[in-house]
Amino acid sequence: MFESEYIRRGLQMLVSGKFFDAPGLSALRMSVYRLFFEIGHETLVVHDSLFTRPHHLKSGYLKLGKHVGINHHVEIDYSGGVTIEDDVWISQYVLIETHKHSVKTRALKKNQEILLNALSIGQDAWIGANVVILPGVKKIGKGAVVGAGSIVTKDVPDYDIVAGSPAKSIGRRQETS
The catalytic residue positions are 101
User: Which bin fits 16, alpha (ψ -120 to 50), beta or left (φ > 0)?
Assistant: alpha
Regarding beta strands 99-101 and 82-84, do their DSSP bridges make them parallel or antiparallel, or are they unpaired?
unpaired
DSSP codes joined into one string, 16-70: -SGGGGSTTHHHHHHHHHHHHSEE-TT-EE-TT-EEE--TT-----EEE-TT-EE
Q: 38: which strand partners?
A: 63
